[in-house]
Structure 1
């Protein structure tokens, strides 16, 4: 039996993406993760593409799968997504996730310098385009600004050189407000296969103990009705509300008796990801989840 052609393999991967899109739209995250893993298996068996056209198609597919893998890998157990990593355009010596890479700190500094230079050029280009931009051009510019601010926010949040800005999340929130505005204005559910709007706002809400930035992030998530791959703004809001309730309940509990024997928890029924986290928190707090209504008979 002959090996499948590049075109057939590309069709299989595109079908995986279409399934993942439909499953993301409907909140069937277990099936979405299964198709992500299936696509990764195809990437593992894929050989080098000879033609430039085939290579360009593959690069686009790798980009889309790697974005989904980055957001979803934390919910995939021991699946390493090695097939997707195999095709990511990277130099093994500069892999940021590899603690054994050579000159790790120097490479990190070089990346930050390249990011700053890219941002300077991007600002200059944006100023030239803003003389008479179309709505689509404005949307593209704002989306790129959001991605840049997302990267910069994570760099600043984990900075150990004492160079953190005084308002760590301000620039990201301002960029997020611009991207969120048209989504909020249409007043209906919206979806994208990937992105950093919902996940970035959730990171702000988790990382701040209180204050205006946490309030701004949660308020923006409440106004959105936006699903971004495996992350839903409504799920994120309820998760944070339940976390706050659980912390209040835990701080007021003075029972540490070894005689308190709990019954085993029944199996989780919610899809993997944030819905399962909501289900666990709802059980702990005794609160009925608005997002999981109808899950139980």
Structure 2
């Protein structure tokens, strides 16, 4: 890319996402991760160039691309090196949204989606990561700390519900689908916070029921199609897999697995069929470790995405 204009940067990033899509469909995860690294590096390269002074219209496109790379990067980071998200992280840290009243609705669903995605990167106090040392990174003033994840989610939810009320029920098919997916992500975060609030919560089906109810609604159009579907975006398969990994309630675990079995869908790096195989192997006892320990070991060491996890589970 000889001249780093905003348009050229956008074209290159879109090409990266197209290659990611092709490799995801083909199941070539090594190549998929390579294209994600290239996109992440580009955010480093252009941080001080044209995107910093782009027009409002161009910035909307930039933020949507950032959101896509953030989502894919977070999900792929278990299979890549620790710097695989550094470019996207740098962008978010240096482009923090100004503090606003929790009563002020988001301007649209795209803004709500962009803000919610930041939880994946900006929050250092993830409730499930009990051994991680909290490291305050840039973007906050002296003596300031980043807000806790529960506080951030509550403020986001307040602004999101205000927007939903303004929009009413007369939504386009695309907007209604986006709204539903945002509610699914909202319930995922609330479920996660609640699940790790106590030992008892992991065994309580009520911890997971709100998310599972929403997941059933999101999955319904796909399970009735009787054909495979693909989206570069989406939180359905990853959310159901997360439920399978942490819940200690057998009824919820069975419900999540049955829903995954009905799906014939790919979302980013997640293939519902591969996820089903992985969890069936864990449940069957072919892995010597406890389920939670097995999941964590496999994610840390598998070099080739979920198929790599499956292969290692079969060998243990």
On whether the aligned pair clears a TM of 0.5, the verdict is yes
1:176 to 215, 237, 248: 215
1:146 matched residue in structure 2: 184
**What does residue 23 of structure 2 align with?**
23
Residue in 1 aligned with 2:123? 96
Deviation at 1:44, TM superposition (A): 0.9
C-alpha deviations, 1:211-260, integer Å up to 9, x for none? 21111100000000011111111111110111122368679xxxxxxxxx
Q: CA deviation at 1:109?
A: 4.5
CA contact (8 A) 2:20 2:35 kept: yes
d(CA) in 1 for partners of 2:39 and 2:80?
14
Candidates 255, 265, 279, aligned match of 1:216: 255
Partner of 2:284: 245
Asked if 2 retains the 8 angstrom alpha-carbon contact of 1:193 and 1:229, the reply is yes
Change in 2 beyond 3 A, CA 1:226/1:36:
same
Q: Is the 8 A contact 1:227 1:233 kept in 2?
A: yes
Q: What TM-score do you get using the length of structure 2 for normalisation?
A: 0.73
Which residue does the alignment assign to 2:226?
Answer: 187
Larger Rg: 1
The partner residue of 1:82 within 64, 82, 86 is 86
State the match for 1:159 in structure 2.
197
**Structure 2 residue aligned with 1:72, among 48, 70, 76?**
76
Structure 2 Cα separation of the partners of residues 180 and 215 of structure 1: 16
Q: 1:170 to 1:123 in 2, by over 3 A?
A: farther
- Does the alignment pair 1:36 with 2:50? no
Of 221-230 and 44-53, deviating more is: 44-53
Structure 1 position 124, deviation (Å)? 3.2
User: Shift of the alpha carbon at 1:209?
Assistant: 2.6
CA distance in 2, matches of 1:196, 1:75: 18
Unaligned runs of 5+ in 1: 252-267, 285-297
How many Å separate the matches in 2 of 1:224 and 1:43? 34
Structure 2: segments with no counterpart, 5+ residues: 98-118, 126-133, 137-142, 291-300
Aligned pair partner of 2:309 in 274, 277, 286: 277
When normalised by structure 1's length, the TM-score is: 0.78
Give the counterpart of 1:51 among 27, 50, 54: 54
